[in-house]
A = this chain, B = another copy of it.
């Protein structure tokens, strides 16, 4: 009773992604970053930000509104701040350059802040938090995004579903903190997937183009997704737009172009990264010990009947990645067909998928 889903090895999808981006003129190193960012999202269960988006990124590259070979400028302004001009490059390529600079400053001075302008959709925010965690640094990763969500009190799309993402290195037990949450009730990508599948969405997720509540995924995609917790989610998304857009020099206030619908100009997405050493106030060993105490105490709490285990933010995604490295990454028929068409057009061998989980 197959629904047409096929499972692929992560390495195979990664190879496909690299080949497709290289075929559009993206240098191999940059194509590897872009592909890794997408496959990493799939591995972590964030399929809305995974390889299913490859076709739209290729289309942006072909249009010239996203550049395969951008002239990315990284300018260190002070010992703690740097400005990146992404020159309309692929978001993960621009952002990985920016995060590397942010990490370097934090290592040197204890803290670093990077503003990024003229970027494009950077994919899963957690991808950059993971880079900071790899360097043993606390991080904030903020971005704005094309409008899809109203400011509180409004019915017009104005804010992106701007993610709030942050990380804190773990203790000796190796359990870090990683939060990557849309400031909307739900990630817009989930509504997009529902629309593609012709599925209904829960009430309270979105307004249709008429400003009235809807449970139709397609109507919701033409309307707006609602901010989480009313004015609170709206307030957080505004902050992401002020730091990621107003302050960096990128587009803001609903003027970030949609990668899907705007073909007259580059996106000019803005990002804001902050990295910080976790041992600013005590030796690293003491910090690590305290992180372990936190995790141990939290996991020992009494649970609700439907909760098998209390998890740290980021832990569900880490487990999903371990699982999908075994089972492979499932792809549904629609994105699969779009990827296969791209592969065929580029004379690239489509990797073999299996109708059941691997391993």
Question: Which residues of A pack against B, CB within 8 Å?
Answer: 77-81, 83, 109-111, 113, 115, 117, 138, 150-156, 158, 164, 166, 168, 177, 179, 181, 185, 211, 228-229, 231-236, 238-239, 241-243, 246-249, 252-254, 274, 276, 278, 280-282, 287, 290-291, 293-294, 297-298, 301-304, 307, 309-313
Whether B211 and A302, one on each chain, are in contact in the complex, defined by CB atoms closer than 8 angstroms, is yes
A252 to B168, CA, bound (A): 15
Stoichiometry (number of copies) = 2
Q: Could you list some 29 contacts between A and B, CB below 8 A?
A: A77-B280, A78-B109, A78-B280, A79-B109, A81-B111, A83-B281, A111-B113, A151-B298, A152-B310, A153-B307, A153-B309, A153-B311, A154-B298, A154-B303, A156-B302, A168-B242, A168-B243, A177-B242, A181-B231, A211-B302, A228-B228, A228-B229, A228-B232, A229-B233, A234-B313, A241-B294, A242-B291, A253-B294, A253-B297
Residue of B nearest to A310 (CB): B153
A298 to B253, CA, bound (A): 7
Contact of A109 among B80, B297, B312 (CB under 8 A): B80
Chain B contacts for A185, CB-based, 8 A: 229
Whether B294 and A239, one on each chain, are in contact in the complex, defined by CB atoms closer than 8 angstroms, is no
Contact of A254 among B254, B291, B297 (CB under 8 A): B297
Whether B301 and A168, one on each chain, are in contact in the complex, defined by CB atoms closer than 8 angstroms, is no
Q: How far is the CB of A211 from chain B (nearest CB, A)?
A: 7
Q: How far is the CB of A203 from chain B (nearest CB, A)?
A: 15
Q: How far is the CB of A53 from chain B (nearest CB, A)?
A: 23
A185 to B233, CA, bound (A): 12
Whether A290 and B252, one on each chain, are in contact in the complex, defined by CB atoms closer than 8 angstroms, is yes
Whether B235 and A181, one on each chain, are in contact in the complex, defined by CB atoms closer than 8 angstroms, is yes
Chain B contacts for A298, CB-based, 8 A: 151, 154, 158, 238, 253
Most buried by B among A153, A155, A238: A153
Contact of A155 among B77, B158, B303 (CB under 8 A): B303
